[in-house]
Structure 1
Amino acid sequence: MADQGTRVALVLGTSAGGVGRHVAMLAGGLVRGGHRVVVAGPPSTERAFGFAALGARFVPVPISDRPRPLDDLRAVLALRALRGAHAVHAHGLRAGALAAIALAGTGTGLVVTLHNAATAGGAIGAVYGLLERIVARGADRVLVVSPDLGERMARLGAGRVEAAVVPAPPLPPSGRDPEDVRRELGTGDRVIFLTVARLAQQKGLETLLDVAKALRGPGGDAGPVPGPAPTGPVRGGVTGEPVPEAVFLVAGEGPLRGELQGRIDRENLPVRLLGNRADVGDLLGVARALVVPSRWEGQPLTVQEALRAGTAVVATAVGGIPAMVGEAGLLVPYGDIAAMRDAVARVLADDGLAEELAGAAARRGRELPGEPEALEAVLTVYSGLS
């Protein structure tokens, strides 16, 4: 491992969620381990995550979420000051590419963790492709959150590609009674399916609305499932019986809120947009399953949180989700609305299946790596840098 007292620089771009929390976890752990840590990123990330309060030195660098030539030039110039660090560890494609340009030829070891896939097309997709090539050829180590990302970076010429360890921080227990949570939500005795996601294109929330529509009865609430009966055993009753009423809760905010709410209202869907919530642990405690309809995910923190809470998972089999979930959930191909509908319907109608998946989720959650494993993993990577 890297010697204590060595300087490690962590670099990130604009973040309000998982990437920032991961960098904060690494910064705090490295400082506690006796390492001198510098965090470089937009001032908004310091306000959101408080790196300086964790003992790191924060350096403002204008790394935005999209190309801005003047800011990118300023970022490259600022990142050159990190040469001489034992390791520079950049998080995200843009931060990684700018760090690779800044440190080219300096001999400073560069590690880049890719937390997301570049899914855009057109001109933006071409820019992302260029950034991927810069990272593949400029980083000493590339850490990836899913096997498909690793295969892509290897094809682009990355010399050393390894799996990243990105654990979710523990959810603090609130002590609230589940019945109190249900009363506050106003869900009555309906079965709750929870989605925790930014209201954005990547999250596939139009599929969630399609599923809610398919499970909605003629009166607007969830009722008998239309179309073919759910496949698999139905331990909770006799096949053909009306399934319980369901409500789909979505915790999160984002640019698609207006569009999603408009469709919910027009079609009278049993879906409620809750906005950002600080009580995700409480919501998981009353949900029968976490539903993840995403186009792509790496190592989603919400899936880890659900597994640790012993909440079943119904998700698309994309990115890093299959390896993370294992047998603790029902996985379906992205875009297969019928398969997602049937998976949700099985969990809704079958109490025994829901209990079986919940038990498997709790067991899988206990197996997931935590902060000590993540710190050990990055220190091992840093120690291998020349």
Structure 2
Amino acid sequence: MSLASSHSPHGRTPLRTVQVLGGGSAGSSAHVRSLASGLVARGVRVTVCAPVEAEHTYDFTGVGAEHVPVPRSTDPSSLAALRTVCADADLVHAHGLHAGLRAALALGGRRTPFVVTWHTRAHAEGARAHLLRLLERRVARVASVVLGTSSDLVDRARRRGARDARLAAVALPPPRMSPEYDDPDRLRPKTRAEIGATERPLLMAVGALERHRGYDVLLDASRVWRRLDPAPLVVIAGEGPLRPSLQRRIEDEGLPVRLIGRRDDVGELLAAADLALLPSSWESRSVLAQEALHARVPLVATAVGGIRELVGDAAELVPYGDAGALATAVVRLLDDPERRELLRERGTRQAATWPTEDETVAQVLSVYDELTQARPFP
């Protein structure tokens, strides 16, 4: 029987955990909400330390957790607030590298069990890359257990000196749908019309406009698609520092690409697409890849990080940085409806192998029990 169960076996008090949210990406934030919901349902007390805007978006209190507003910062006031919350925790679980650092600083020398989930890998170049390695090493070595969302993240944690690194079970967050989305077949033509793709293929990419996302390669590939009749429309949902330079290229080169910024209807846009594109230089458990397979949208992705492990044979995989290979894969799929249908069927089977929310919570609880089995009686 779990020490964290609601029955408080052998007279133990309910386990009290603190979940520390760092960068607050859609994937990690949705994971923390799902995890908090499952833990609370099993009698675990959960406090989520996250910025106010994260609570507004993900409603941690709505699933029974306590929310303590803590900014994403290592300034003294933020660390003091975090230190106060963690003072009487049975276990602290940080999500992301920077959350791990902040939690480690807040815990100081206390022997509180400390779990860190690495949801993705930070990207840095030059001197910042060296600092990033130092940060990874510090967090990996201080954590009781590091959970990595892909095998290469587990290997990375071990290389950085983690005492115990394991592959994490992470369920797909709920689809990013607007409230009125209820009938995909009815809304698909409307969505395509609104985006300007009524009589042309629609290709969908999602993610922050940052260098590691590979959007420069995607624009290179789109030059080939200009020559098709009709030319596919590439829609990129996301915002970031590269927007001015990407927009300039789109306009100067007359590329069939639209930047539509952050959207709260990504689910319907993806469901309306003919293909999903993931040209990144690195990914772990890509939310877009999972949503595409669940939505039966054929995926073309780079064979990097945890992508092959995640999608198996249910996507077209191309080398990162190879615009020609990306363009060729897209053109081939658009011309081959049988191949698209095969990928849809494979995607459905592959998605069925991914962890459920219950399995995710069960794995985390087993780690918690293992680390807290020596808890004192009240």
* TM-score of the aligned structures, taking structure 1 as reference length: 0.87
Deviation readout 1:314-360 (Å, 9 max, x if unpaired): 00111111111101101112112222122112112212211111221
Q: Does 1:326 align with 2:312?
A: yes
Q: Alpha-carbon deviation of 1:267?
A: 0.7
SS at match of 1:296: coil
Deviation readout 1:176-232 (Å, 9 max, x if unpaired): 522222222221221111111112222111111111112212xxxx35xxxxxxxxx
Residue of structure 2 in register with 1:227 after alignment: none
SS at match of 2:166: strand
Q: Does 1:301 align with 2:319?
A: no
CA distance in 1, matches of 2:106, 2:51: 17
Residue of structure 1 in register with 2:168 after alignment: 164
SS at match of 1:261: helix
Residue of structure 2 in register with 1:189 after alignment: 199
Q: Alpha-carbon deviation of 1:31?
A: 1.6
Residue of structure 1 in register with 2:98 after alignment: 94
Q: Does 1:26 align with 2:35?
A: yes
Higher mean displacement: 270-279 or 328-337: 270-279
Q: Does 1:174 align with 2:163?
A: no
Q: 2:17 aligns with which of 8, 16, 22?
A: 8
Residue of structure 1 in register with 2:82 after alignment: 79
Q: Does 1:274 align with 2:275?
A: no
Aligned length: 356
CA distance in 1, matches of 2:321, 2:25: 28
Give 4+ residue runs of structure 1 displaced > 4 Å after superposition. Answer: none
Paired AA for residue 278 in structure 1: D
Paired AA for residue 276 in structure 1: R
Q: Alpha-carbon deviation of 1:129?
A: 1.5
Q: Alpha-carbon deviation of 1:127?
A: 2.2
Q: 1:48 to 1:284 in 2, by over 3 A?
A: closer
Deviation readout 1:1-26 (Å, 9 max, x if unpaired): 34232111100124252221211111
Residue of structure 2 in register with 1:235 after alignment: none
SS at match of 1:384: helix
Deviation readout 1:90-122 (Å, 9 max, x if unpaired): 011111122123324322100001112132022
Residue of structure 2 in register with 1:228 after alignment: none
5+ residue gaps, structure 2: 6-13, 373-378
Q: Alpha-carbon deviation of 1:28?
A: 2.0
SS at match of 2:208: coil
Q: Does 1:143 align with 2:129?
A: no
RMSD of the TM alignment (CA)?
1.9
Deviation readout 1:245-288 (Å, 9 max, x if unpaired): 31111122222222211111111111112222222232222222
Identity %: 43
Higher mean displacement: 73-82 or 133-142: 73-82
Q: 2:278 aligns with which of 277, 292, 309?
A: 292
Residue of structure 2 in register with 1:208 after alignment: 218
The answer as to whether partners of 1:290 and 1:311 remain within 8 angstroms in 2 is: yes
Q: 1:20 to 1:270 in 2, by over 3 A?
A: same
Residue of structure 1 in register with 2:209 after alignment: 199
The answer as to whether partners of 1:312 and 1:358 remain within 8 angstroms in 2 is: yes
CA distance in 2, matches of 1:46, 1:284: 26
Residue of structure 2 in register with 1:125 after alignment: 129
CA distance in 2, matches of 1:366, 1:309: 12
Q: 1:265 aligns with which of 248, 251, 255?
A: 251
The answer as to whether partners of 1:311 and 1:362 remain within 8 angstroms in 2 is: no
Deviation readout 1:15-71 (Å, 9 max, x if unpaired): 25222121111112212222111111233322332222332122232333xxx5xx1
Q: Alpha-carbon deviation of 1:306?
A: 0.8
The answer as to whether partners of 1:16 and 1:45 remain within 8 angstroms in 2 is: no
Higher mean displacement: 256-265 or 116-125: 116-125
SS at match of 2:352: helix
Q: Alpha-carbon deviation of 1:305?
A: 0.8
Higher mean displacement: 198-207 or 122-131: 122-131
SS at match of 2:158: helix
5+ residue gaps, structure 1: 224-243
Residue of structure 1 in register with 2:239 after alignment: 253
* TM-score of the aligned structures, taking structure 2 as reference length: 0.88
SS at match of 1:107: coil
CA distance in 2, matches of 1:46, 1:169: 16
Higher mean displacement: 329-338 or 169-178: 169-178
CA distance in 2, matches of 1:156, 1:52: 35
CA distance in 1, matches of 2:346, 2:119: 26
CA distance in 1, matches of 2:71, 2:233: 42
CA distance in 2, matches of 1:348, 1:295: 24
Residue of structure 2 in register with 1:240 after alignment: none
The answer as to whether partners of 1:113 and 1:143 remain within 8 angstroms in 2 is: yes
The answer as to whether partners of 2:148 and 2:166 remain within 8 angstroms in 1 is: yes
CA distance in 2, matches of 1:281, 1:63: 28
Higher mean displacement: 83-92 or 11-20: 11-20
Residue of structure 2 in register with 1:17 after alignment: 26
